[in-house]
A and B are shown apart, each in its own frame.
Chain A
Amino acid sequence: DAKTTQPTSMDCAEGRAANLPCNHSTISGNEYVYWYRQIHSQGPQYIIHGLKNNETNEMASLIITEDRKSSTLILPHATLRDTAVYYCIVRVIGGTSYGKLTFGQGTILTVHP
């Protein structure tokens, strides 16, 4: 699976949009982009995933560049409860990779009042 690069940490004011970038310049055509987050002392939580089209759900939006070499996770109205480590992961669906996810160090997002 392709490697991802994320900033170590980011800050965001409560109520503002949080935009978390991820670089995956070696992504291949059959690899999806996934985002998970881990709130302190909890297990990771799935947020969203996409292949090449932008995706939106009740939690967030995922914007993938046309060349697919980078993406941005957007939390439209960040709250204090969104403070967490956010992981960007790219992986193939199916084949021999099973469902195994390889987690990097992620971005520590701190939402402040």
Chain B
Amino acid sequence: GAGVSQSPSNKVTEKGKDVELRCDPISGHTALYWYRQSLGQGLEFLIYFQGNSAPDKSGLPSDRFSAERTGGSVSTLTIQRTQQEDSAVYLCASSLAGVMNTGELFFGEGSRLTVL
């Protein structure tokens, strides 16, 4: 598609279960970012990928959170042993280049995670 695609759009899970969130960036975009937005809060940076490597993982809140990117394209954010405080909208964004990025990030619609 033309934009950043995320799936699932909504996920309800029970506390303690693992979840995987998928992001399909715009074709040709080498940089990929994950953010999350808790209810009524601002956007919180999680991780940045340039190609398949992640030079900045500084925003991952705990070791229960991990992400990978394969083939320089699709990325998966995995949350293990989910907790209620993980409930949020997880947003993925992509851009044309990393180091010389001009600041135009293209965001998906997000995956809304609810942990019961």
Q: A36 — which chain B residues lie within 8 A by C-beta?
A: 105
B31 touches A98 (CB 8 A): yes
B104 within 8 A of A: yes
Interface bracket on B: 20 to 34
* Of A18-26, A42-50, A64-72, A73-81, the one with at least 4 CB within 8 A of chain B: A42-50
Interface string of A98-113 (1 = CB under 8 A from B): 1111111110000000
Instruction: Determine whether the beta carbon of A98 is less than 8 Å from that of B103.
Output: no
Is B79 in the interface zone, CB < 8 Å from A? no
**Most chain-B CB neighbours within 10 Å: which of A94, A95, A98, A105?**
A98
A-facing residues in B85-116 (Cβ within 8 Å): 91, 93, 95, 97-110
Which residues of the other chain, A, contact B102 by a CB distance below 8 angstroms?
Answer: 49, 93
Instruction: Kindly supply a per-residue 1/0 record for chain B positions 1-37, scoring 1 wherever the CB is within 8 Å of any chain A CB and 0 otherwise.
Output: 0001000000000000000000000000001010100
Of listed B48, B56, B102, residue having the most chain A CB within 10 A: B102
Between A and B, how many residue pairs show CB distances below 8 Å? 67
A contacts with B: majority SS: loop
Find chain B residues with CB under 8 A from A32 CB: 103
Interface residue A86 (Cβ < 8 Å from any Cβ of B): no
A49 to B102 Cα, complex, angstroms: 9
Q: Is the CB of B48 within 8 A of A98?
A: yes
Task: Verify if B50 is at the interface (C-beta below 8 Å from A).
Answer: yes
Task: Report the Cα distance A44→B45, complex, angstroms.
Answer: 13
User: 9 A-B contacts, Cβ less than 8 Å apart?
Assistant: A44-B43, A93-B100, A93-B103, A95-B99, A98-B48, A99-B31, A99-B48, A99-B101, A100-B45
Q: Which 8 A-B pairs have the closest CB atoms?
A: A43-B107, A99-B101, A103-B43, A46-B104, A34-B103, A99-B95, A103-B42, A44-B107
Interface residue ranges, B against A (CB under 8 Å): 4, 31, 33, 35, 42-43, 45, 48, 50, 55-56, 91, 93, 95, 97-110
